[in-house]
Structure 1
Amino acid sequence: MKVQEMEQLVKQVTAFTLANSAERDSWEKAIAMSGLLAWGDDHALEVVQRWLDRAVATQNSSGNLCYGDAFKAAQAGIDYTPTGSLSSALGMPLLQVYENSRKQEYLDAAERQIQALVNSPRTSDGGICPRYEARELWVDFTYLTCPFLVRFGQITGEDKYIEEAVLQFEVHVAHLLDEKAGLARHMWCEVPNCYPQSTFWSRGCGWLLLAGIHLLELLPSHPKAGLFKDVVRRLLTAMSKHQDRNGYLRNTLDDPRSNFEASGTLMFAFAIPRALELDMDLVDKALIENALRAFGVVAGSVEPSGKIPGVTVPPGGPNVVYDWAMYGQGFFLLAAKALKPYLTE
Structure 2
Amino acid sequence: MPADHSSSTTPSGITPSSIHTTINHLITALVTIRDPTGTFLLPLPDGRIIDTKGWHDWEWTHGIGLYGIWQYYTLTRNPAHLALIEDWFAARFAAGGTTKNINTMAVFLTLAYVYEETKNPVYLPWLDSWAEWAYYDLPRTRYGGMQHITYLEENRGQLWDDTLMMTVLPLAKIGLVLGRKRYVEEAKRQFLLHVRYLGDVRTGLFFHGWEFNADVEGKDGGKGGVGGHHFAEARWARGNSWVTVAIPEFLELLREGNAEDPVLESFLQGTLREQCEALRPLQDPKTGLWRTLLDVSEEEGSYLEASATAGFAFGVLKGLRKRDLVGPEREKLEEMAVRAVKGVLANVSEEGELLNTSFGTGMGRDLQHYKDIPVTSMPYGQAMAIMALVEYARRFI
Measure how far apart 1:343 and its partner are: 5.2
1:115 aligns with 2:132: yes
Where does residue 224 of structure 1 map in the other structure?
264
Other structure's SS at 1:196 match: coil
Measure how far apart 1:337 and its partner are: 0.9
What does 1:79-158 align with in structure 2 at a 5 Å threshold? 84-118=101-135, 119-131=137-149, 132-158=154-180
Measure how far apart 1:43 and its partner are: 2.2
Other structure's SS at 2:142 match: coil
Deviates more, 1:220-229 or 1:317-326: 220-229
- TM-score (norm: length of structure 2): 0.77
Alpha-carbon deviations, 1:276-319, whole Å to 9, x = none? 12124446133222111111122112111111110110125442
Candidates 226, 238, 245, aligned match of 2:285: 245
Distance in 2 between residues matched to 1:197 and 1:99, nearest whole Å? 41
Measure how far apart 1:341 and its partner are: 4.7
Where does residue 191 of structure 2 map in the other structure?
169
How many residues are paired up?
Answer: 324
CA contact (8 A) 1:203 1:267 kept: yes
C-alpha change, 1:342 and 1:225, in structure 2 (3 Å) is closer
1:266 aligns with 2:310: yes
4+ residue segments displaced more than 6 Å: none
Candidates 343, 356, 370, aligned match of 1:310: 356
Distance in 1 between residues matched to 2:371 and 2:233, nearest whole Å? 10
Alpha-carbon deviations, 1:86-128, whole Å to 9, x = none? 1111111011111121012212101111122221111110001
CA contact (8 A) 1:84 1:116 kept: no
Where does residue 298 of structure 1 map in the other structure?
344
Where does residue 236 of structure 1 map in the other structure?
276
Other structure's SS at 2:295 match: coil
Distance in 2 between residues matched to 1:171 and 1:56, nearest whole Å? 33
Distance in 1 between residues matched to 2:347 and 2:324, nearest whole Å? 33
Identity %: 24
Measure how far apart 1:342 and its partner are: 5.2
1:183 aligns with 2:205: yes
Distance in 1 between residues matched to 2:172 and 2:20, nearest whole Å? 32
Where does residue 62 of structure 2 map in the other structure?
29
Measure how far apart 1:232 and its partner are: 1.0
Supply the AA of the counterpart residue of 2:391. Answer: A
- TM-score (norm: length of structure 1): 0.89
Distance in 1 between residues matched to 2:140 and 2:164, nearest whole Å? 14
**Structure 1 segments unaligned to the other structure (5+ residues):** 60-65, 69-82
What does 1:206-225 align with in structure 2 at a 5 Å threshold? 206-220=241-255, 221-222=260-261, 223-225=263-265
Supply the AA of the counterpart residue of 2:294. Answer: L
1:328 aligns with 2:381: yes
**Structure 2 segments unaligned to the other structure (5+ residues):** 1-13, 34-53, 215-227, 363-369
Where does residue 15 of structure 1 map in the other structure?
28
Distance in 1 between residues matched to 2:394 and 2:98, nearest whole Å? 39
Distance in 2 between residues matched to 1:24 and 1:30, nearest whole Å? 10
CA contact (8 A) 2:207 2:234 kept: yes
C-alpha change, 1:168 and 1:338, in structure 2 (3 Å) is same
Where does residue 76 of structure 1 map in the other structure?
none
